[in-house]
Amino acid sequence: MNLKLIVLAIAVGFAPTSHSAGFYLKEQSIVSQGAAFAGAAARTDAASSVYFNPAGIASMQSQFEGGFHLLMPDQTVTGTQPIGALSTSAQEPLKNSTVPNVYYTQPIGSGVFGFGISAPFGSKNEYDDNFIGALDSYKTKLKTVDYSFAYAKQVSDDVRLGASLVYQTADIEQGKLVSSLLIGSSSTSTATLKGDSTEFGLTLGMQIDLDSGGVLGVAYKKGTKQEIKGTNTVSVDFGLPVPGVGAIPIAAGTYNAGGKLNLPSMLSVSLIAPISDSTNLMFDVTRYGWSSYEKLAVTTDWGGLLGSQVSEAAQNYSDTTAFSLGAEHDYGNGYAARAGVHLDPTPTNDTDRSYSTPDGDRTWLAFGISKTTDSGTTWDFAYTRIQVDKTNLNREVTDGVFAQATAESTFDILSVGVRIPLE
């Protein structure tokens, strides 16, 4: 197995489609995916605990864990109110994509070191550039990659503590239609923001072994604030209206630009509770600090009379709480199966919901199986079905002008992974 190629593929070789509420990608472990993430922060048998709760690796031996999630969306966004000559035709903005992840653990001294590469936030969608929603967003590509460096230790017979320092990269591309209908120009242009950023994050975790034989896990992920630096490219000359002055001409070209992207904190509490020697019930509650994502503000340096100008798009996400319930059964002979349900409310609202994330409340149904071979290698498989509530979009694209549509979505996810003991 060429680990260098795997790391390279994860670092640069994917374009994810958002499948959790908002634009969070929760698909970071195949074994936890199969239980709809119930008990994810309480597991002690998977190197992917580096991501969910680093305390979970404190009693592990050396292990490599890697996998891929094939994300298959079925989303239709249909305009309900025309704007000028722009189209309201049904759009299918999402395409199949893949999210990979890889983790590694190694005992060092009295503790265990862990390393992981994962992609926790991402989206990629595209509309026709004459669709009404293109006034808000005709193209969106967001990709974050986390490089996690974890250390965990058994501090008593019943308690494990762990922490991960996370180096996060972010790349973003977002384009919108600048319509002559809205700017009083004789032409229609597109404006495309491209940029990237890096930031450090932190994950803290604790696990407690219970007298019942179960495990309680608590993990906190600090939200990150990415300062995006890049360019804003305008395709055609147009006039930018300035109150009291009129339309100031903007020439087609590329201009320096930047923006802020505030990503949410997460607090998870998980429980694995045995009900027999071979069966566990599993639970998870996760609180997402989505309210940090109030707006997307982009500053462009147009030069000349305009100089730097800030453009703000309201998001007004709300904090949410997601719940998971699952079960896992060991059938013997190396076979185990798990299943779960995950209730994942959207942080978006009917007034500010963007065409870049036409999101709704989500219900996950997941099933997974594992097979451990005589060599100790475990193959993990999972299937997930996500049903998204039908949602409305009523986005104000300029003063008094609203791009209105409905969105209907379902998602299927096929996940394959492997856990390999290295000693």
Q: 10 Å Cβ neighbour count for 21?
A: 24
Query: Taking 70 as the threshold, does the pLDDT of residue 19 lie above it?
Result: no
Q: Which helix (H) or strand (E) holds 204?
A: strand 189-209
Instruction: Specify the residue for token string 């992917």.
Output: 48
Q: Which pLDDT tens digit goes with each residue over 190-228?
A: 888 999 999 999 999 999 999 999 999 999 999 999 999
Query: Taking 90 as the threshold, does the pLDDT of residue 145 lie above it?
Result: yes
Question: For the chain, what percent of residues have pLDDT higher than 70?
Answer: 90
Segment 328-347 mean pLDDT: 97
From the list 389, 393, 345, 355, the residue with the least C-alpha distance to 24 is 345
Residue type, 324: S
Segment 398-402 mean pLDDT: 84
Is residue 184 very low, low, confident or very high in pLDDT (cuts 50, 70, 90)?
A: very low
Is residue 187 very low, low, confident or very high in pLDDT (cuts 50, 70, 90)?
A: low
Task: Read off φ and ψ for residue 51, nearest 5 degrees.
Answer: -85, -50
* Range name among 87-91, 258-262, 265-269, 410-414 with the lowest pLDDT average: 258-262
Contacts of 274 by beta carbon, 8 Å cutoff, 6+ apart: 212, 213, 214, 280, 281
Give me the pLDDT at residue 5, please.
28
Segment 118-143 mean pLDDT: 91
Chain centroid to CA 258: how far?
21
From the list 272, 260, 243, the residue with the least C-alpha distance to 313 is 260
Query: Taking 60 as the threshold, does the pLDDT of residue 133 lie above it?
Result: yes
Contacts of 244 by beta carbon, 8 Å cutoff, 6+ apart: none
Return the higher-pLDDT residue of 122 and 39. 39
Residue type, 8: L
Contacts of 310 by beta carbon, 8 Å cutoff, 6+ apart: 297, 298, 299
Kindly report the three-state secondary structure assignment for every residue of 26-39. Answer: CCCCHHHHCCCCCC
Torsion of CA 184, 185, 190, 193, to 10 degrees: -70
Question: For the chain, what percent of residues have pLDDT higher than 90?
Answer: 72
Q: Could you tell me how many residues make up the chain? A: 423
Give the mean pLDDT of the chain: 89
Q: What share of the chain is helix, strand, coil (3-state, %, to 5)?
A: 10, 60, 30
What is the full DSSP assignment across 6-19? HHHHHHHS------
